[in-house]
Amino acid sequence: MVRVHGVARVLEAHLRWYRRNWRATAISSVLQPLLFLLAFGLGFGSLVGARAQEATGGADYLVWLAPALLAMSAVQTGAFEMSYPVLAGFKWRRTYEAMTATPVEPGEVALGQLAFVTAKSLLTGAVSLVVIALFGGVRSVGVLGSLVAAVLTGAAVAALVMAFAATRQDEGTAFNAVFRFVVLPMTLFSGTFFPIATLPGWVQPLAWVSPLWHGTELARWAAGVGASDLVLLHLAYLLVLVGIGSGLSMRFFTRRLTA
Amino acid sequence: MTAPISGLTWLLPAGSYAGRARMLLLRSATASRRTWPAVVSGFAEPVFYLLAMGTGLGALVGTLPGPDGRELSYAAFIAPGLLAASAMNGAVFDATFNVFFKLRDSKLYDAMLATPLGPVDIALGEIGWALLRGGLYATGFLSVMAVAGLVTSPWALLALPVALLVAFAFAAVGMAATSFMRSWQDFDFVTLAVLPMFLFGTTFYPLSVYPPVVQVVVECLPLYHAVELMRGLTTGAVHWGMLGHLAYFVVMALVGVVFAARRLHALLLR
Amino acid sequence: MPGMGEGLVVARGLRKSFGAFEAVRGIEVEVAEGEVFGFLGPNGAGKSSTMRMIACVSPRSAGELSVLGRDPDREGPRIRARLGVVPQLDNLDIELSVRENLEVYGRYFGLSRRHVRAKAGELLEFARLTDRADAKVDALSGGMKRRLTIARALVNDPDLLLLDEPTTGLDPQARHLLWERLYRLKREGVTQIITTHYMDEAEQLCDRLVVMDGGVIVAEGSPAGLIERWSTREVLELRFPSDAAPPVAELQPHAERVELLPDRVLLYVPHGERAQAAVHAAGVRPLSALVRRSSLEDVFLRLTGRTLVD
């Protein structure tokens, strides 16, 4: 059984911790999308000019890139925050053990962790969005919808990585492999910097599996620089992933914390 | 009594070098026996970038002028940049995260100092390992470039020793910087240093894109000099000015090693 | 070195300060070959700082120090080649297996491959870890890790073994096994310097010890000698109902020293049962009475006080 107030208490504990420790990740989580925006949106964008507008469906490359970078950043935050920090909760800091010594249930610990990471990516995403707007990357208020799409994408990846982390006994090299062979290719081949149609045909099905591709499409649609035909499919796919990831996480947390 | 003067040791306190840095290489090699896939597969990262950006962005850009004005395919333009960046990334990762862990968490260096080893052995040994790793990645990536037809000059063979020098310099400076870190929270600064260099150090597009003021700033970044060296060598556009870029790294490496060893001395021999 | 004695470790007016804080404030120590020497003291007494100076990983701030007849400031690596160090917290190489920890560490001393391989087998036997030789260090229990750390310190057949709180955090079985191993080394003639705040450990292991407090040495001698000098032969412990203890003045004539604690009264006396009879005759009626031999702990608490040190 998962109770809302149990999840809320876990979330509160994380938020109190974050109030003391937000500086540690502030630079990378807010600046990272901005740096990519500057390097590719402005630097690279000035090289490609008109040719890029063919690929982006007429939109300015910078404006086309901005919603996708929000999604990319949320995915990176989600994946990282659920790797070492979750294993630390089980193994090094043992905070999960401390939580379940109270009336809080293991499933609530899992969902509270997910709620925290989601809240965090919403917060850093919002700050990034303001900065991106200052650099001219925003043309419509629909970009607020892009932020929601980005946070949802981040949550889908976060939930799956959390389930994986809950099964790890020691760090070994597993997280490294996830970052290197899953997260990195996902950020490169999900249509963030260029439409996946420019890739060879056999690579494109890989993008269809990638939550980031669905999130990017959704975020671009909300900002008014993307196609609208598959929106419901993208949304459904992401929601299903959040569901699967949360379900598995709750199971693995319960198994590990009550064994 | 005077300490024996050999090499750099005159810059360093007495008793800090036992001449046994290679034992740290042996230790790292032993430790990597179980984790070698993680070490070796590091060279996949720049390959992913090359595949994605080379094909995807390449379709948007077409060609770009190389160092000697000849038009290069976009993949051929970014490949040397990625080679330089991978030498930097591998070395910095080893010299910051891994060194910090051994310095603060596992107290491995304290254990080493209970033996005749000194801080200079530790600095050289760890930098040496980062160097081997960087060399491995560079060799792997150069082979990929060659197979993909992105190497157009025999000068490219020299890219390997240059990658080693670049890795050495970044590892040395990274290790010196690590000695100032107080907690894992400070590692955000590593990202803050490395990511802008990777993105703006002319890896993905030429310097001419920037306004003149920004050009000067970019020209100060170490990665810019590494990219210039690599791009010149892999395209065969070799000129005397490249010695200046080399000198940049020689100085960076020397300053880094002395600084790193002195800081380790101050931290470990309190 | 002129003016220094013949001991393996000789310190004269040895000081260590960190900024304005003086951790060690001028101590005199001489450790003879073959002896087991102890540093006792509460947390923050300066024991670990002293051990680090002897281990040649902490330059002294003032005074003289010679270890194995050499000056640590000038010949650190040469001295360390002959030392075995067991730090307070295990710093094993967690990326290596049990056996690799011993072999790689031996290589840091410049020992040959063949030599460290043979030595590692011998030390695994000594530490009773032979069947765990290929396990990862992470998987070992606290006692096993401690034994491995001690085995590692012996890889170079040291002339002097430094042990900083060797049995802290171990269960009684593991402690006794360690004591037995350390005693075996003593019989083999290995000089040992131990810090501890377990008095039973000091009494078991040390030939001679010093008690440190606030950076200075407050007493020195053999365990028995210290008890004789700073305590009585026996202690009479009397318990009273709460708030019903008689005034100290009433008990004073029956003991050399009286100590009033929240829950009981301690009488330091040469003969416990005689004192108990005398107190009874004087009309004192405790809830319970216990006679025990004086221990090093009594000496320690007398010298360093009962106040909690943090």
- The DSSP secondary structure of chain C, one letter per residue, reads -TT--SSSEEEEEEEEEETTEEEEEEEEEEE-TT-EEEEE--TTSSHHHHHHHHTTSS--SEEEEEETTB-HHHHHHHHHTTEEEE-SS----TTSBHHHHHHHHHHHTT--HHHHHHHHHHHHHHTT-GGGTTSBGGGS-HHHHHHHHHHHHTTT--SEEEEESTTTT--HHHHHHHHHHHHHHHHTT-EEEEEES-HHHHHHH-SEEEEEETTEEEEEE-HHHHHHHHS-SEEEEEE-STT-PPPHHHHGGGSSEEEE-SSEEEEEES-HHHHHHHHHHTT---SEEEEEE--HHHHHHHHH-SSPP-
Neighbours of chain B (3+ CB pairs under 8 A): A, C
User: Quick one: average pLDDT of B161-166?
Assistant: 94
pLDDT beyond 80 at C157: yes
Burial environment of residue C173 by CB neighbours within 10 A (0 to 12, 13 to 18, 19 or more):
exposed
Report pLDDT digits (tens) over A180-192: 999 999 999 999 9
- Annotated domain spans of chain A: 4-258
Model confidence band, residue B5 (pLDDT cutoffs 50, 70, 90):
very low
Contacts of B34 (CB under 8 A, 6+ apart): none
Query: Rounded to an integer, what distance in angstroms lies between the CA atom of residue C46 and that of residue C212?
Result: 7
* Nearest residue to A146 (alpha-carbon basis) of A51, A33, A23: A33
Residues 6+ apart with CB under 8 A from B30: C96, C100, C104
Supply the pLDDT for residue A49. Answer: 73
| B104 contact C CB<8A | no
Q: Which of B37, B49, B200 is closest, CB to CB, to A173?
A: B37
Specify the range with the lowest mean pLDDT, choosing from B33-42, B158-167, C230-239: B33-42
Of the candidates B57, B224, B270, C267, the residue with the CA atom closest to the CA atom of residue A36: B57
The single residue listed with the structure tokens 């009879």 is: C277
Report which DSSP code applies to A223: T
CA distance C108 to chain B (A): 6
Per-residue model confidence (pLDDT) at position B12 = 67
Which residue, among C238, C275, C276, has the nearest Cα to C260 in the 3D structure? C238
Name the 3-class secondary structure at A141: coil
Residue of A nearest to B60 (CA): A52
Question: Is the minimum CB–CB distance between C139 and chain B shorter than 8 Å?
Answer: no
**Both structure tokens of B139:** 């060799």
What does the pLDDT read at residue B194?
Answer: 93
- Mean pLDDT for chain C overall: 90
Question: Chain B residues with CB-CB distance to A under 8 A?
Answer: 35, 37-38, 41-42, 44-45, 48-49, 51-53, 55-57, 59-62, 64, 184-185, 187-189, 191-192, 195-196, 199-200, 204-205, 209-210
Instruction: Tell me the β-bridge partners of C21.
Output: C18
In this prediction, does ipTM exceed 0.85?
A: yes
Helical (H) or strand (E) element with A49 = none
Our CA-based measurement puts residue A130 at a distance from the nearest CA of chain B, in whole angstroms, of: 20
- DSSP state letter for A78: H
CB C214 within 8 A of CB C310: no
What are the beta bridge partners of residue C25? Answer: C15
Question: Are B127 and B175 within 8 A, CB to CB?
Answer: yes
Residue C259 confidence class, pLDDT cut points 50, 70, 90: confident
* Average pLDDT of every residue of chain B: 89
pLDDT value of position A172: 67
Chain A interface, best mutation among B60, B214, B221, by max A CB count within 10 A: B60
Q: Which of residues 106-165 of A touch B (CB under 8 A)?
A: none
Q: Which of B41, B59, B205 is the closest to A44 by Cβ?
A: B205
The pLDDT assigned to B4 comes to 39
Chain B nearest C-alpha distance from C289 (Å): 49
Best interface-test mutation with B: which of A60, A84, A92, A173 has the largest number of B CBs within 10 A? Answer: A173
CB-CB under 8 Å, A32 with B195: yes
Distance CA A66, CA A133 (A): 9
- Chain B residues with CB-CB distance to C95 below 8 A: 31, 35
Query: In this complex, how many residue pairs, one in chain A and one in chain B, have their CB atoms less than 8 Å apart?
Result: 98
Q: Looking at the complex, report in whole angstroms how far the Cα of residue A51 sits from the nearest Cα belonging to chain B.
A: 6
- In eight-state DSSP terms, residue A200 is -
Residue segments in chain A with a per-residue pLDDT below the cut of 70: 1, 172
Please check whether residue B9 lies inside any domain of the structure: no
pLDDT at residue number B3: 37
B6-15, B189-198, C53-62, C241-250: lowest mean pLDDT where? B6-15
pLDDT at C2: 43
Distance, CA of B233 to CA of A40 (rounded, Å)? 26
The rounded distance, in Å, linking the Cα atoms of C24 and C22 is 6
Phi, psi at residue A170, to the nearest 5°?
A: -140, 160
Q: How many angstroms separate the CA atoms of C301 and C310, rounded?
A: 15
Within-domain flag for B4: no
C252 and chain B in contact, CB less than 8 A: no
- Other C-beta atoms within 10 Å of A225: how many? 24
**CB environment B233-257: b (16+ within 10 A), e (fewer):** bbbbbeeeebeebeebbeebbeebb
Give how far A188 is from chain B: nearest CA, Å: 6
Q: What mean pLDDT is predicted for residues C84-98?
A: 92
Residue B20's alpha-carbon distances to A142, B112, B114, C107, C217, in angstroms, are 62, 11, 14, 9, 38
C74 in Cβ contact with B14 (< 8 Å)? yes
- For residue B157, tell me if it sits in a domain: yes
Residue range C110-156, pLDDT digits in tens:
999 999 999 999 999 989 999 999 999 988 998 899 999 999 999 99
Residues 6+ apart with CB under 8 A from C246: C240, C284
Residue C60: closest CA among chain B residues belongs to which residue?
B270
Tell me which of B16, B22, B27 to substitute to probe the interface with C (most C C-beta atoms closer than 10 Å).
B27
Q: How confident is the model at residue B17 (pLDDT cuts 50, 70, 90)?
A: confident
- Closest of A119, A139, A125 to residue A31, by C-alpha: A125
- pLDDT, tens digit (0-9, with 9 covering 90-100), for B217-270: 999 999 999 999 999 999 999 999 999 999 999 999 999 998 998 898 888 887
- Cβ–Cβ gap C104/B270 under 8 Å: no
| B108/C73 Cβ within 8 A | no
Residues of C in contact with B120 (CB under 8 A): none
Question: What's the burial of C183, exposed, middle or buried (CB within 10 Å: 0-12/13-18/19+)?
Answer: middle
- Give yes or no for a contact between B253 and B169, defined as CB atoms under 8 angstroms apart: yes
DSSP letter (8 states) at residue A198: G
Q: Write the residue in C55, C59, C96 that is nearest to B30 by C-beta.
A: C96
A173 touches chain B (CB under 8 A): yes
d(CA B25, CA B40): 16
The mean pLDDT of C26-35, rounded to a whole number, is 95
Q: For residue A21, which of A104, A81, A100, A107 has the smallest C-alpha distance? A: A81
A200 touching B, CB under 8 A? Answer: yes
Contact B134, B85 (CB under 8 A): no
In A, residues 12-51, which contact B (CB 8 Å cutoff)? Answer: 21, 23-28, 31-32, 35-36, 38-40, 43-44, 46-48, 51
Structure tokens at C260: 């009033």
User: Which helix (H) or strand (E) is A9 found in, with range?
Assistant: helix A4-21
Asked: is C9-223 a CATH 1.10.1740.10 domain? The reply is no
Range of the domain at B245: 17-268
State the smallest CA–CA distance between residue C5 and chain B in angstroms.
22
**In chain A, which residue's Cα lies nearest the Cα of B64?**
A47
Task: Give chain B's domain count.
Answer: 1
**Chains touching chain C at 3 or more Cβ pairs under 8 angstroms?**
B
| Residue in C73, C80, C96 closest to B115 by CB | C80
Answer whether residue B13 shows pLDDT above 70. Answer: no
Contact across the interface for B196 and A181, Cβ inside 8 Å: no
Between CA B77 and CA A74 the distance in angstroms is 30
Q: Tokens 């000038």 appear where? A: C74
Please report, for chain C, the start and end positions of each structural domain, with discontinuous segments joined by +. 9-223, 232-293
Q: A99-108, B12-21, C205-214, C289-298 — which is least confidently predicted?
A: B12-21
Q: Which residues pair with C236 in a beta bridge?
A: C267, C291
Q: Which of A188, A196, A204, A213 to mutate to test the interface with B (most CBs of B within 10 A)?
A: A188
Is A188 close to B185, i.e. CB distance below 8 A? Answer: no
- CA-nearest residue to C87 within chain B is B111
Q: Which fold has domain C232-293?
A: Alpha-Beta Plaits (3.30.70)
CB contact under 8 A, A28 and B210: no
* Dihedral pair phi/psi, residue C211, rounded to 5°: -105, 125
- The helix (run of H) or strand (run of E) holding residue A50 is helix A50-55
Q: Best mutation site among B113, B115, B264 for testing chain C: the one with the most C CBs within 10 Å? A: B115
Beta bridge partners of C36: C192
In this predicted structure, the answer to whether residue C255 has a pLDDT above a threshold of 90 is no
Q: At residue C169, does pLDDT exceed 80?
A: no
User: Could you tell me the two tokens for A153?
Assistant: 């994408």
Token code pair at residue A46: 């000035």
pTM of this prediction? Answer: 0.86
Interface test with B, best of A29, A37, A44 (most B CBs within 10 A): A44
